[in-house]
Structures are given as structure tokens and as C-alpha cells.
Amino acid sequence: MTQEELFKKLIAHCKEYGFIFPSSEIYDGLSAVYDYGQLGVELKNNIKTYWWDSMTKLHDNIVGIDAAIFMHPKVWEASGHVGAFNDPLIDNKDSKKRYRADVLIEEWIAKQDEKIEKECAKAAKRFGESFNKEMFVQTNGRVLEIAARRDEVNRRMAEALNANDLVELRQIILDCEIVCPISGSRNWTEVRQFNLMFSTQMGSVAEGANTVYLRPETAQGIFVNFLNVQKTGRMKIPFGIAQIGKAFRNEIVARQFIFRMREFEQMEMQFFVRPGEEMEWWKRWKETRMSWHRALGFGDDKYRFHDHEKLAHYANAATDVEFNFPFGFKEVEGIHSRTDFDLGRHQQFSGKKIQYFDPETGESYVPYVVETSIGVDRMVLQVLSAAYKEEQLENGETRTVLSIPAPLAPVKVAVLPLVKKDGLQEIAMDLVHKLKFDHNVQYDEKDSIGKRYRRQDAIGTPFCVTVDHQTKEDGTVTIRERDTMKQWRVSIDELESIVADKVGMRQLFEKLV
Ligand code: ATP
């Protein structure tokens, strides 16, 4: 199965089992907007808890807030979003499709990396055991030529984006002979800037309504509350403020399912530090955040850092955590050193002093900020794409299983009476009532036990518990583990603690401290 096929199957699976639906589907959907179904919302909530608790419980100097989506319009002038939250877009005149100019170039760059990998694979075949990839990449003429061209284009793009040089961006697309994937032609329009913020009106038009924006990031809600939280929480630098909430961007190219949506959710933490100490904190947060991802156990090779060549107007260092999605390595999280830009600008635009008096140094200053910013939906996609598997079983059947880490799984335990008689249902229901105070539990008595196991595998339930006739005699049940399909008997009394140990967030948190 190719990665593309796998991705299509995953999307269909998400719909079939109630994880994710297209928005307003009965009206044919709304582009790049999705709804979470009964299982999707549980997975998403568990991801949010994993993030929230790892920030606020595991760090005694991080607290959370929940700011409103609407903010004073001046916030977005101060932050630079009104003037500069733009994407450069370009249209293909033949297909009438619209693209982000920088994304077209980035995809071209990624193709050069693929070409180099192909050259390496060919050479590895030719040289066999004696092949030294590092040496080959440094000396082979063809590889050096591709790499030099790639680096040159990368440099030109970074410069053009920094200088907002749209003519040069178009020229790069022409020079690289990039074609539209739909029409195959190079018939491109000029490159234009497009602001990504959604706006609406607050108050009645008769009164002279104000234009307000749907926030394109949650970070600004934290910055404008810096003094409130610092003072009321008696916070001492270094400290952080965390927030989870919706953000909205009028993305030009919205595709790849929930990877790029117009309404999405972010989990952001702004960490306030002394000026001059930001680089050290930025490095620490890079490591901390990478450990958080890796603790999920999908494999360390699924992640990499991508340090930015082009820095946003506010940043002096930036990296992305990229995950290997079915469509390649892509950003799930950004870790940015934002300097004193945001607080400084709010100080300037609001006319209010936003400073911190440092009792240790006896000085007042505008704190520097290190931000970690991750998309909830991209995390959901990360978990689902790493977890989705089709397995060939020994009896020749295949099973679809979602190997979601147990603490994140939507349903933790399924309780299944072997047959619908002899009092087994009642015992099973008693068990459900016992477990439901702590866990999300499903009861299922329909179809054969094999079919019921498959249904639970498909939604990622880590444990199935079967009540049978022996249960009546000795108070034991069969517990079946999702990934290994191993089954063993345990007493009902032990069951609660066995399940709790395996599905609790604690096991993830213990890897982080
Ligand atoms: P991209 O380059 O993919 O557009 P970005 O660099 O603009 O992302 P940030 O502004 O750094 O993203 O936002 C932080 C995080 O928010 C991203 O790492 C991503 O996980 C998430 N995010 C941003 N835009 C979207 C979107 N349109 N849909 C879903 N998640 C998003």
C-alpha cells in the first residue's frame, strides 16, 4: 500500500468510525472545515489533557488562561497581523488553481532531496557493502550539482520572503520550471499578497460597527494578559502562560485533511525570560517539546527539527518539530524565540507600561519570550496516521487496528458478555458501572466475540474484557490486549488496577520528568 493509499484509507476510516466528519456534510461540506465526531472529540480531549497537564502540572512556573477569541482590533495592528499576516499567492491561468508561491518552491526543494536519495539508493545498489553514503554525498558530481542548486534556490526564496520581493518569488518559480500539478502548465499570474485574517462586525451597523477579527493565533491573548497574570499570580521570571483555543486563518491552499484547516485549535505556551537568556531557554524548550512527542512511542525517527532560514518579523530563532505524515515530513509545532517584540509593541500601542521588576537584579525590563505553539488537529492527525495499521493475521484474515497510545485512546475498555444469557449480561453491566467512574467504557453484546474484538481494534480500544461462564464460578474475566491480541484471565478485583496502570497519563508524564 502506498502512503497515498494509506492516507485515503485513514480519512475514510475516520469518517466510518465517528472520528472526523466534513463540516455541514449534508450541504456538501465547507472547504477545509471539519467536525469531530463521538470518538474524535475524546481523542482530541485526551491530547489536550496530555499537553495541558504536562505544561501546568509538571512545571510549577507555568499557569494557564482562557482568553476570548475576539480581541480589541488594535491588538492585531500591534502584533503586525493587519500589516503582514500575508501569504504570497499565485494562480495558474490554465487550471485556475491558486497556490502559495513559497509552498510551490518548498515542494520543488523537497523534490531535490528525493533526487539525491534516489542517486544514493542507485549507488548503494552498485557498490553493495562498501557503500559509504556520507562520502558519496560529499563527492559525487551529480549529487553536488543538485544540492548546490537546491541550496541556491533556498537562499533566494528566504531572501525574497524577507524582502517581500514578490517579483523575485515568481522568477524563482519560472527558473525552477515549476508546473501546475493540475494543468501541467507554466502559465502563472503575478504573485500577490493575501491577508489570512477573517474579519467580522461587532455592534450594529447603525451605531457605526467596528471591524473585529477572529484571532489567527491564541498567543496574543496571553501577551495582553501578561501583567494580569504576573501580578495576580505573583509570578517570577522565568515563568510561562499556557492556553488552548480556537484560531482562524483564511488559508489559500487548504488541503491534506485536518492538516491545514480554516478553523483549528492551538495549544500555545509563552515563556517569559530575562533578556539575553532567551537562546538558552529556546534550546531547552526544543528538547522538552521533542521529548513530549517522543514519549508517545511512535519511533524517534518519525520526528525531526527544521530550523528556519526565514525568520518571522518578531523572531531571533525558530524551529519546527516535523512529523513524518503519510505525505512526508511536515510541521506540527513551532518553537520560536520572539524577543521582546510582542510585549514591546503592546506597550507602544496601548500606551501602558508592560514591564517586569526583577527583584534579583533590581531592574525593570520588557521580558523576552520563547513560544511553543502546536496545532491540536495536527496532533490528532499525527496520532491517527501513526496508529493506523492493517495487519495480516495468522488465520489469513486482516484486521484494521488503531494502535493509539492507551492514555490517548477514546475508549479505554470494552466489556463484552460472551453470550446474551445465563446472567452474563448482568455481570458485565455491573463491571461497566464499576469502571465508568474512572474510564470511558463501552458495553457490547452484539455479534460474535471475534467481530466485537475487531470493532474495538478499529477504534483503538486498548482492552477488551470478556465475561464468560467461568466468571460466575471464580470471579475472573478474560482480558485481551489490543496490539498483541494476548489474552489472560484476571480476577475482577484486580481488573481496575491493571487497567488504570496502563491507560493513565502518568506513564507518559513519567517519561518527561
Ligand atoms: P504552516 O507553515 O504550516 O502554515 P505556520 O508556521 O503558519 O504553519 P504557526 O503560525 O507557527 O504555523 O502556528 C503554530 C501551529 O499551529 C503549527 O505548528 C500548526 O500545528 C498549527 N497550525 C497553523 N496553521 C494551521 C492550520 N491552518 N490548520 C491546522 N493547524 C494549523
pLDDT digits (tens, 9 = 90+) for 273-294: 999 999 999 999 999 999 999 9
Looking at the chain, the whole-number percentage of residues with pLDDT higher than 90 is 89
| 83: pLDDT strictly greater than 90 | no
Question: What is the average pLDDT score of the chain?
Answer: 95
Which of 373, 374, 377, 381 gets mutated to test ligand 1 (max ligand atoms within 8 A of its CB)?
373
Segment 103-115 shows an average pLDDT of: 94
Can you tell me whether residue 146 is helix, strand or coil?
A: helix
Backbone dihedral angles phi then psi of residue 205, each to the nearest 5 degrees: -65, -35
Rounded to the nearest whole angstrom, what is the distance from the C-alpha of residue 375 to the centroid of ligand 1? 6
How many whole angstroms separate alpha carbon 416 and alpha carbon 437?
18
Can you tell me whether residue 335 is helix, strand or coil?
A: strand
Residue nearest to atom 3 of ligand 1 (CA): 331
Grid coordinates of 50: 496530555
pLDDT in tens, 438-490: 999 999 999 999 999 999 999 999 999 999 999 999 999 999 999 999 999 99
For residue 336, the ligand 1 atom closest to its alpha carbon is: 11
Res. 206 pLDDT band, cuts 50 70 90: low
How many whole angstroms separate alpha carbon 469 and alpha carbon 401?
28
Q: The pTM is what?
A: 0.88
Residue nearest to atom 31 of ligand 1 (CA): 375
Rounded to the nearest whole angstrom, what is the distance from the C-alpha of residue 266 to the centroid of ligand 1? 8
Q: Residue 253 has what pLDDT? A: 75
For residue 262, the ligand 1 atom closest to its alpha carbon is: 27
Res. 205 pLDDT band, cuts 50 70 90: low
- The order of strands in the sheet holding 487-491 is 441-443, 413-417, 463-467, 476-481, 487-491
| Burial of residue 452 (number of CB atoms within 10 Å: 0-12, 13-18, 19+) | buried
For residue 260, the ligand 1 atom closest to its alpha carbon is: 28
pLDDT in tens, 213-229: 999 999 999 999 999 99
Which positions ≥6 away from 225 have C-beta within 8 Å? Answer: 65, 67, 241
Rounded to the nearest whole angstrom, what is the distance from the C-alpha of residue 238 to the centroid of ligand 1? 26
Q: Residue 208 has what pLDDT? A: 65
Res. 162 pLDDT band, cuts 50 70 90: confident
| 313: pLDDT strictly greater than 80 | no
pLDDT in tens, 393-439: 888 889 999 999 999 999 999 999 999 999 999 999 999 999 999 99
The residues lining ligand 1, judged by C-beta closer than 6 Å to any ligand atom, are 217, 249, 251, 260-261, 264, 266, 331-334, 373-375, 377-378
